[in-house]
Amino acid sequence: MTGDGVDLAALAVEAVPGALAERLRGARSVIAVSHENPDADTIGAVIGICMLVEALGGRATALCSDPVPPLYSFLDGVERFRRDPEPGVAYDLLILADCASAERVGDVATRHPELFTDLPVVVIDHHASNSGVHEADWVDPGAAATCELVTLLAVRLGIPLTAGGGALAAALMAGVVMDTATFAHPNATPRTLAVSAGLVGAGAPLSDISRRLYRTKPDTQLRLFGRVLDRLETTADRLVIWSTLRQVDLVETGAIGAHSEGLIDLLAQSESAEVAMLLKEGMDGTTRLSVRTKPGGVDATALCAAWGGGGHTRAAGATIPLPLGEAAAATRDAAHRLASAVRR
């Protein structure tokens, strides 16, 4: 029970697929994989999954193609992430957390394709653009964060949320805080709040996590924000707002790619725009697109799907096989067509 009387055990029994719970109980050596360019939700979910497997007597490895951004260094467990599997370990289960395919995990899938072809796979994810294809997958677009699902999984498995002296609760709380903007986004449901109450009751420092993720930024990051916001553009009718982040911005401010976190949410604060976009110049001639849309308006996944992307109705992304300038023109025009069709 949470402090407000909500029965998390009942929620977990109702929500968690029995096949998933049994698969984790039977696994002895698990590799849990995050998506590339990791955020708090995929990081927290992978840490949580590893702790659950270990609590059940198994062995777990946390894997991520990219280094964990410094923003998340305060979380116990980030030090366990590897960029390649442990040598000589015979894994018996691969879990994809907050993503659903090898394409989303980055170059580790290229270096170790056998992980995705030889091992049983389970997906735990909350993105509406993904669909479960494996027997024990759990894809729930109604969840605010994958960490919400992992919390319910812990309860279903009978593992205390206080595990690790509060490390489990803190990692999972970080994912919920990040993906709800500390419960400001409309994806925060009564179940999200019930799960969060359980995590806080287990010791998750909600206020400190929120401060670290949303109200603490190094000076280099603020300089980067200034550059990107200074080149903000809108369509003539102000229905679409966008800006670009160039590789030279990172070099000249001393920032790293992870410091772009939060920029799209600033653009999304536009009072007039139906669609907000941030386009990031890649090193390989591609462009990374992040999209936010207003409630009741454009479906962000519909915009990103044109380039093979996905995500949520209000927040989605894609990698566009075009250089920055061409990608900006193409996405601007596509976004404006969708925004112009909104009737309020």
pLDDT digits (tens, 9 = 90+) for 198-208: 999 999 999 99
Residues 6 or more apart from 341 whose CB is under 8 A from it?
A: none
> Span 22-40, mean pLDDT?
96
Tens of pLDDT along 299-313? 999 999 999 998 889
Q: 3 or 103, which is more confident?
A: 103
Answer yes or no: is 37 within a domain. Answer: yes
Looking at the structure, do residues 226 and 176 belong to the same domain, yes or no?
Answer: no
pLDDT band at 133 (very low <50, low <70, confident <90, very high): confident
User: Number of structural domains, the chain?
Assistant: 2
Instruction: Let me know if 118 is exposed, middle or buried by CB neighbors in 10 A (0-12, 13-18, 19+).
Output: exposed
Of the residues 193, 214, 235, which one is the last residue of a structural domain? 214
- E strands, 48-189, in order: 59-63, 81-82, 93-97, 121-125, 138-139
Looking at the structure, do residues 102 and 117 belong to the same domain, yes or no?
Answer: yes
How confident is the model at residue 255, as a pLDDT?
95
How confident is the model at residue 4, as a pLDDT?
53
Token digits of residue 22: 């049994």
Is it the case that residue 213 has pLDDT exceeding 90?
yes
pLDDT band at 132 (very low <50, low <70, confident <90, very high): low
Token digits of residue 135: 């027997």
How confident is the model at residue 101, as a pLDDT?
84
Looking at the structure, do residues 296 and 208 belong to the same domain, yes or no?
Answer: no
> Span 263-282, mean pLDDT?
96
Is it the case that residue 100 has pLDDT exceeding 90?
no
User: The domain containing residue 273 runs over which residues?
Assistant: 219-340
How confident is the model at residue 311, as a pLDDT?
87
Answer yes or no: is 251 within a domain. Answer: yes
- What's the sign of the alpha-carbon dihedral 135, 139, 145, 148? negative
Q: Across the chain, what does the average pLDDT equal?
A: 94
Q: State the CATH number of the domain containing residue 76.
A: 3.90.1640.10
Is it the case that residue 130 has pLDDT exceeding 80?
no
Answer yes or no: is 1 within a domain. Answer: no
- What's the sign of the alpha-carbon dihedral 213, 214, 220, 224? positive
Looking at the structure, do residues 163 and 234 belong to the same domain, yes or no?
Answer: no
Contact 227, 233 (CB under 8 A): no
Looking at the structure, do residues 168 and 262 belong to the same domain, yes or no?
Answer: no
Is it the case that residue 210 has pLDDT exceeding 70?
yes
pLDDT band at 3 (very low <50, low <70, confident <90, very high): very low
Is it the case that residue 261 has pLDDT exceeding 80?
yes
Residue with tokens 């927040």: 315
Is it the case that residue 5 has pLDDT exceeding 50?
yes
Looking at the structure, do residues 71 and 153 belong to the same domain, yes or no?
Answer: yes
Walk across the sheet containing 81-82 and list its strands.
81-82, 59-63, 29-33, 93-97, 121-125, 138-139
Looking at the structure, do residues 210 and 226 belong to the same domain, yes or no?
Answer: no
Looking at the structure, do residues 186 and 66 belong to the same domain, yes or no?
Answer: yes
pTM equals 0.88
CA torsion angle for 160, 161, 164, 166 (degrees, to 10)?
Answer: -140
Looking at the structure, do residues 12 and 126 belong to the same domain, yes or no?
Answer: yes
Of the residues 214, 235, 260, which one is the last residue of a structural domain? 214
pLDDT band at 103 (very low <50, low <70, confident <90, very high): confident
Looking at the structure, do residues 192 and 87 belong to the same domain, yes or no?
Answer: yes
Contact 158, 173 (CB under 8 A): no
Looking at the structure, do residues 172 and 281 belong to the same domain, yes or no?
Answer: no
Tens of pLDDT along 69-90? 999 999 999 999 999 999 999 9
> Span 211-223, mean pLDDT?
94
Residue 344 and residue 77: Cα distance in Å, rounded? 46
Looking at the structure, do residues 249 and 202 belong to the same domain, yes or no?
Answer: no
Q: 104 or 290, which is more confident?
A: 290
Q: State the CATH number of the domain containing residue 273.
A: 3.10.310.30
- E strands, the chain, in order: 29-33, 59-63, 81-82, 93-97, 121-125, 138-139, 233-234, 240-245, 275-281, 287-293, 310-311, 315-320
Answer yes or no: is 3 within a domain. Answer: no
Q: How many CB atoms lie within 10 A of CB 41?
A: 28
Is it the case that residue 1 has pLDDT exceeding 60?
no
Region class of 5: left (phi > 0), else alpha (psi between -120 and 50), else beta: left
- Candidates 73, 50, 48; CA nearest to 61 is 50
Of the residues 150, 179, 214, which one is the last residue of a structural domain? 214
Answer yes or no: is 2 within a domain. Answer: no
